Amino acid sequence: MTEFLSLEKAIQKYVKPKTSVALEGFTHLIPHAAGLEIIRQKINDLHLFRMTPDIIYDQLIGMGCVSKLTFSWGGNPGVGSLHRFRDAYENEFPNKIEFKEHAHSAMANAYAAGASGLPCAIFKGYLGTSYPDINDDIKFMKCPFSEEKLTIIPSIRPDIGIIHAQKADNNGNIWIKGISGSQKEVLMASKKTIVTVEEIVDIIDEKNGGTIIPRWVINAICVEPNGAFPSYAEGYYNRYNAFYKEWDTISKDRKTFNNWMNKFVLSTKNYTEFFKKINNEE
Amino acid sequence: MKNKNFTSKEMMVVSASRFLKDDDIVFIGIGLPSLAANLAKRVQAPNISMIYESGTLDTKPERLPLSIGDDELSKKALAVISVPEVFNYYLQGGKIEIGFLGAAQVDKFGNINTTIIGKDYKNPKVRLPGAGGAPEIAAFCKDTLIMLRQTKRNFVNKLDFITSVGYADGNNSRDKLNFVSNGPKAIITDLGILEPCKVTQEFILTHIHEGVSIQEVKDATGWPLKISENIITTSSPSLKELEILRKLEATQN
């Protein structure tokens, strides 16, 4: 049964300490509003999954919400390092995090296997690389038909899958258009799901393609306009590249980071207030 | 050194872009490879098909994207597909001719490291972003091109961590991995171009950029660099190449 909830209530209801959570998004439609609400509610000891942990994961890490991270590329795309991620990895600050590292293909396949109800994903990958030495989840098997050496890793089935989408209809079906990364797979692989959307419409009547994900795989829908900012929502707003560059300066220094988080996230009571405040200052 | 009207970065980007031909199907990494491919599309290869790992197929960006998933790439793409599809059907399925990669470090056999610098994985000197799509690009594209600045820190004899495989330990050891692809064709740098020796697959200097001395390249390489007997001086960027490149770089917001 799909519920229409406030983001505050949805996070409260589903995201508990020690749960595993995937907030997915591949450059486009990154669920920033949901990530900030987790920080606001000070939920910690989370096992996070994300192919491309970027600004919102840097914030979750820096605020001490994360105890384990499974990832395949941790950087600020086109800009450089993710400083809070690096500080956690190199100096265990603000806390020790267990890192489980993969390549994109492995994580995409692990989500797809999870979505398909499989215990593991089979693909070709990692041969000749150092990854099998540092990640004991990476195993190899011989194909029983061709005898080819194949790679096998456990599937990913997060407790909670969270994504941002452009629209939902009144019945709770959601619609995504543009770069969709592994978001569909994450919703299908997760035990419970939360989707933030730009808006709710009576009927999704889109003649220009896009993907519809039906209401019965979605537990909670929360309306959060601009909920992907500074990432983007195709058809609504563009990627705010200037902020990705600014984040480099904000996140480099622990104190500057904490001040920024205090000012914009902890001192605002919800995403609407956060968005208003940051836009007044930019 | 002669006075040049272009920078060493421009020379690198232009010489990398010249590897791309019209009608090539190219899988592009962000940063330098994206810049070089976009230049090629505006100079000699207008029909080149550019694919980014965000699932944007045959995209025609008017401005340079900052990330592999900018709205510019998505809006101007022939099609946008999911990430599992990109990796399984297009890369693993062998549908891409050329993979174009950047790197933090390479070794003499064209293996790439973008994961950690330092011997201890858990306690590295530098934590880099990691693999992303690079291992699959290196393994499954028919040919790969690598571009990065050449310094002693970047060009090492042996990598601390192999993120993406080039020719493994050389001497045909890549063949044992059963990839159907060919491996890296060239490493293009700000000093010259390195290509693999046909027998050992060790990268040797085959082209040198104008105004650069062989000693300079040797000094910027962490292994005893071999020099091709028929070393060629790269032709300098044309006025057209420079003009288009500068215009292109100015579009990145």
- Contacts with B178 from chain A: Cβ below 8 Å: 127, 148-149
The pLDDT of residue B59 is above 80: yes
Which of B62, B82, B125 is the mutation pick for testing A, counting most A CBs within 10 A? B82
Q: Does B150 lie at the interface with A, CB-CB under 8 angstroms?
A: no
Predicted pLDDT of residue A207: 73
The pLDDT of residue B50 is above 70: yes
**Average pLDDT for chain B:** 95
The Cα–Cα gap between B232 and B210 comes to 10
B130 and A28 in contact by Cβ < 8 A?
no
Average confidence (pLDDT) over B192-201: 98
B88 and A79 in contact by Cβ < 8 A?
no
Confidence of residue B142 (pLDDT cuts 50, 70, 90): very high
Interface of B with A in 165-224 (CB under 8 A): 165, 168, 174, 177-179
Q: Does B92 lie at the interface with A, CB-CB under 8 angstroms?
A: yes
Q: Of A56, A3, A54, A49, nearest to A33 (Cα)?
A: A56
Predicted pLDDT of residue B1: 43
* Structural contact between residues B164 and B156, judged by C-beta atoms closer than 8 angstroms: no
Instruction: Give the residue from chain A lying closest to B252, CA to CA.
Output: A241
**Average pLDDT for chain A:** 96
Confidence of residue B253 (pLDDT cuts 50, 70, 90): low
Average confidence (pLDDT) over B154-158: 97
Average confidence (pLDDT) over B223-241: 97
Complex confidence, ipTM? 0.95
- Cβ-nearest to B69 among A26, A111, A127: A26
Predicted pLDDT of residue B90: 97
Calculate what percentage of chain B has a pLDDT beyond 90.
93
The pLDDT of residue A206 is above 70: yes
What are the pLDDT digits (tens) for A63-117? 999 999 999 999 998 899 999 999 999 999 999 999 999 999 999 999 999 999 9
Instruction: Give the residue from chain A lying closest to B84, CA to CA.
Output: A108
Average confidence (pLDDT) over A149-158: 98
Q: What is the 3-state secondary structure (H, E, C) of A17-86?
A: CCCEEEECCECECCCHHHHHHHHHCCCCCEEEEECCCCHHHHHHHHCCCEEEEEECCCCECCCECCHHHH
The pLDDT of residue B4 is above 70: yes
Calculate what percentage of chain A has a pLDDT beyond 90.
95
The pLDDT of residue B30 is above 90: no
- Contacts with B115 from chain A: Cβ below 8 Å: 101, 130
The pLDDT of residue B85 is above 50: yes
What are the pLDDT digits (tens) for B157-177? 999 999 999 999 999 999 999
- Cβ-nearest to A129 among B82, B86, B163: B163
Give A4's strand partners. Answer: A221
* Range scoring the smallest mean pLDDT among A1-5, B2-6, B51-55, B187-191: B2-6
The pLDDT of residue B107 is above 80: yes
Predicted pLDDT of residue B171: 97
Rounded to a whole number of angstroms, the distance from the CA of A9 to the nearest CA of chain B is 30
The pLDDT of residue B3 is above 60: no
A27 and B54 in contact by Cβ < 8 A?
yes
A103 and B88 in contact by Cβ < 8 A?
no
pTM: 0.96
Tell me whether residue B53 is one of the annotated catalytic residues: yes
What are the backbone angles phi and psi of residue A162, rounded to the nearest 5°? Answer: -125, 130
The pLDDT of residue A130 is above 80: yes
Interface of B with A in 32-51 (CB under 8 A): none
How many C-beta neighbours within 10 Å does residue A199 have?
12
Q: Which of B10, B53, B202, B241 is catalytic?
A: B53
The pLDDT of residue B62 is above 60: yes
Predicted pLDDT of residue A95: 98
- Contacts with A88 from chain B: Cβ below 8 Å: none
**Residue A45 in tokens:** 């000891």
Residue type (1 letter), A202: D
